[in-house]
Amino acid sequence: MKKVVVGMSGGVDSSVAAILLKEQGYEVIGLFMRNWDATINNDFLGNPTINDNICPQEQDYNDALAVAKKINIPLYRVDFIKEYWDYVFTYFLDELKKGRTPNPDIMCNKYIKFDMFLKEANKLGADYVATGHYARIKDGKLLRSIDNNKDQTYFLSQVSKEHLKNVLFPVGHLNKKEVREIALKYDLITASKKDSTGICFIGERNMTKFLENYLPNQEGNIVDIDTNKIIGKHIGLMYYTIGQRRGLNIGGYENRMFVVGKDLNKNVLYVALGEDNEYLYSDSCLVTDVNWLGDKVNQCTAKFRYRQPDNEVTLEFIGDEVLVKYPQKIKAVTPGQACVFYLGEQCLGGGIIKEVRKNNEKLWYL
């Protein structure tokens, strides 16, 4: 009997992944990852963020344990707090300092869930590892999930091909409704549990208050890039991303101005009027740290952020970097975010947007 170690998060997807694997005849072992120190996870007003006196992370563990007992599989627990800090959280802070918009969940998959986790699973004698991600693997290729609305291949784009060799995605052929129905059938405590949202170490709490503990605020001017007039004050460039409209606090301009750029040297946040302002658009970007899961191609589609529709692109290889061209112009392509490549259903891999260009020149305001 083949042994599978399942990453149990305390959510419905990983719960059902374990059930499906057990139904398929595998010996299933659960492994819960603790990636963040729960004593830090508070609202920074002195009060832990709790539900019934249990922090959310501990509640997730208790839910995973209840599911494991219900379906009669063992559950182990492992701490990756130091590793998460070193490889994910430090990266997150460093990118923010550069004025970029990082995606820590992608780095968590790369370094923790499909690296450190694999090593722990091997200690338990795993033939395979599995998670509740909505994705599929077929003939060694990473494919989108059947449920396009939940597809998570974007977040898996930095996982190495080697690390995906013995990975199973049991819920990748199901939609969310079907997953919940299976959980209800087995009367699992996670069947109706709300999906987690937000960055894992911030969750749904106030991001500004959270970051104040790690990066000092540096207030500066908000400038209308079309008129070069100061129209407000920002609370720190790290709190804004390209294309952002809400939360700018610029009086009568509210909800009509969009963030189009940042000048770190002058500590200026640039905004422009209207959602179709030319400053929001680019026609190419340079992508670095590219991880290839499939063959290199010259034409494919790409996503520049999660849930974005596919965009037709052409690729030009410049050393280890890729110049991604989209002459149709695309809105709010953002340094620091992931650019993920697709060929039909297959995820070819992806990299990190290093710079954004228009008419063969790097945009000065980005």
- Catalytic amino acids? 108, 200
| Residue carrying structure tokens 């609370």 | 235
Could you list the beta-strand ranges (E) of 38-123.
75-79
The gap between the terminal CA atoms of the chain, to the nearest Å, is 54
State whether residue 80 is helix, strand or coil: coil
Tokens of residue 306, six digits: 């999660």
Contact 345, 145 (CB under 8 A): no
Nearest to 43 by CA among 207, 200, 195, 199: 207
Report the residue count for the chain: 366
> What element of type H or E holds 349?
strand 346-358
The span from the CA of 180 to the CA of 75, in Å, is 21
Contact 355, 335 (CB under 8 A): yes
Nearest to 121 by CA among 76, 62, 72, 65: 76
| Residue carrying structure tokens 């059902």 | 16
Nearest to 237 by CA among 210, 262, 204: 262
Helices 12-23 and 176-185 pack at an angle, to 10 degrees, of 70
CA 317 to chain CA centroid, Å, is 25
Contact 314, 298 (CB under 8 A): yes
Helices 12-23 and 56-70 pack at an angle, to 10 degrees, of 20
Torsion angles phi and psi, residue 302, rounded to 5: -145, 150
Q: What is the DSSP letter of 18?
A: H
* Residue 64, number of CB atoms within 10 A of its CB: 27
